[in-house]
Amino acid sequence: MLVYSIIFPIVSILAIGIFYKRFKNGKNSLSSFIVWTILWIFIFVFSIVPDASSIFARFFGISRGLDFIIILAFAILFYIIGKLYFIIEDMQNDMNKIVKEVALNNEITLEDEEE
Amino acid sequence: METIISKKDIHNTYVIIPAYNEETRVRPVVEGIAKKGFKMVIVNDGSTDNTLDVLKDCQKKYPKNIFIYSHIINRGVGLAMQTGFEAVLKYNPKFIVNIDADGQHSVADIENVIEPLVSGRSEAVIGVRPLKDMPKSRNIANSIMNFLTKIFYNVDVSDSQTGFRALTIDALNQIQINAQGYLISSEFIREINDNSIPFEEVTIQTIYTPETQSKGTNYKVAFKIFIQMMKHKLFG
C-alpha cells in the first residue's frame, strides 16, 4: 500500500470532522460545509481508489485521471484565491469607512488636551 | 495681470494636509501656513511616531488656524485626503488647497495656486513640479506616470503625481475620490477632466531633501499605481 493512500484518507476524515465541528458551532454555513465535505470525499476516494479519477476524466474528455485531479485542484485553488481577494477587498473598504467615520466624529481639539 | 489675494480670500481658504510619520518635518509646514493666516485641516494618517503630538503642539500655538483629525490606523494618503475633503466641508470654505506634510512644497506657493481660483479663471489648479528639477529616478517615474495618466484617463498634464493642488468648493462638490493610496493624484486629475472642470497648471517650487525623497512616486509606487489604474479600468 502506498503512503499517500494511507495519509490522504486520514487527512480527509480529520478535515471533514473539523468542518462538521465548525458547522455545528455555527462558524460555517450549511452550504460551505456541504461543498467542503464533497471535496474531501473526492480526495478520500481518489486516494484509496486512484482509478476512480479516470472515470471522471473520461466524462470530462481528459485522457488521464491524474490530469483531471491536477486541473480540478488548480480550478479550486483559483476559485478560492479569487473569493478571498474579493472578501479582503470588501473588508478593506469597510475598514476605510470605519477609520474615516471615527476620524470625522472625533476632531481633536484643545479641550480634549485639557481633559 | 495677476489678481491680488485679499485677506478675505485667505480667510476663505483651507489647506488640507495628510500627514503620516512626519514628526521631524511637519512643524515648519504647518506653522508656515498658519503664519500666513490660512486655516488647515490636518489628517494624521495613523502615524506611529510623534506626528500627532507635534500637531497638537502647533494647534496650541495657532488654535484658530489648525483643525486636526486622526485615523486610528494608517490607511494611505488617498483615504486621508478623502477624510480631509469631508472634514473641510464643515467650515464652509471657498477655496481648498492640498499640500504635502513633508516640506517638499514651498508654503509661499499657496497664493500662486489659489490665484487662478480667486480670479475666476479656473476651478481647479495643479501645482506642477518642473521635471528637470527632480532627481533622475523620480523624474523617470513621474514621466511614466504622466504617460499612464494620459493612456488610462485621457488627460495630458505635466505632473500627474503632484500633491499640491487647489480647487473651489464647487469643484470639490463635483468630484468623487475613491483612491486609498497614491492613486489619488491621477484620480483627482481624471475627476477634474471627466467633470469638465476648468483647470490650470501652476509651476511650483519643490524642495528635495533625502527625507522628502523617501516618500512619493518611486518605481515601486509607480508600479502599484499602474496596477490600481488597470483594476479601475477593468472593474470600474
- Is residue B231 within 8 Å of residue A92, measured between CB atoms? no
pLDDT for B131 equals 73
- The angle subtended at Cα A47 by Cα A43 and Cα A59, nearest 5°, is 70
Question: Regarding predicted confidence, which is higher, B3 or A89?
Answer: A89
Give chain B's domains with CATH numbers.
7-235 (3.90.550.10)
Contacts of B68 in chain A (CB under 8 A): 107-109
Contacts of A103 in chain B (CB under 8 A): 43, 69-72, 83, 87
- Joined together, the cell numbers standing for residue B121 give 479663471
pLDDT for A1 equals 65
pLDDT at A113 over 60: yes
- Joined together, the cell numbers standing for residue A18 give 473539523
Contact call for B67 and A107, based on CB within 8 A: yes
| Tens-binned pLDDT, residue by residue, of chain B (236 aa) | 567 889 999 999 999 999 999 999 999 999 999 999 999 999 999 999 999 999 999 999 999 999 999 999 999 999 999 999 999 999 999 999 999 999 989 999 999 999 999 999 999 999 998 877 777 777 787 888 888 888 888 888 888 888 899 999 999 999 999 888 878 888 899 999 999 999 999 999 888 776 666 665 667 777 778 887 887 777 76
Residue B29's Cβ-side half-sphere holds a number of Cα atoms within 13 Å equal to 28
Residue ranges per structural domain of chain A: 4-103
A interface test, pick of B30, B52, B79, B88 with most A CB neighbours within 10 Å: B79
- CB proximity list for B193: less than 8 A, separation 6 or greater: B153, B154, B155
pLDDT band at A79 (very low <50, low <70, confident <90, very high): very high
**Closest residue of chain B to A114, computed from CA coordinates:** B60
Alpha helices in chain A (DSSP H): 4-24, 30-48, 52-59, 65-105, 110-114
d(CA B62, CA A18): 60
d(CA A5, CA B36): 78
ipTM of the complex: 0.84
Give B96-117 as a DSSP string.
EEE--TTS-B-TTHHHHHHHHH
Q: What is the mean pLDDT of residues A38-50?
A: 89
pLDDT for B210 equals 65
d(CA B177, CA B161): 15
- Joined together, the cell numbers standing for residue A24 give 455545528
Closest CA to B75 of A36, A98, A49: A98
* Cα B104 → chain centroid: 11
d(CA B25, CA B3): 31
Q: Crossing angle, helix B26-35 and helix B51-61, to 10 degrees?
A: 20
Q: What is the mean pLDDT of residues A46-73?
A: 86
d(CA B149, CA B141): 12
**Closest residue of chain A to B43, computed from CA coordinates:** A103
pLDDT for A115 equals 62
Strand B165-168 versus strand B95-98 pairing type: antiparallel
DSSP class of B26: H
B interface test, pick of A85, A88, A107, A111 with most B CB neighbours within 10 Å: A107
- Is residue B171 within 8 Å of residue B66, measured between CB atoms? no
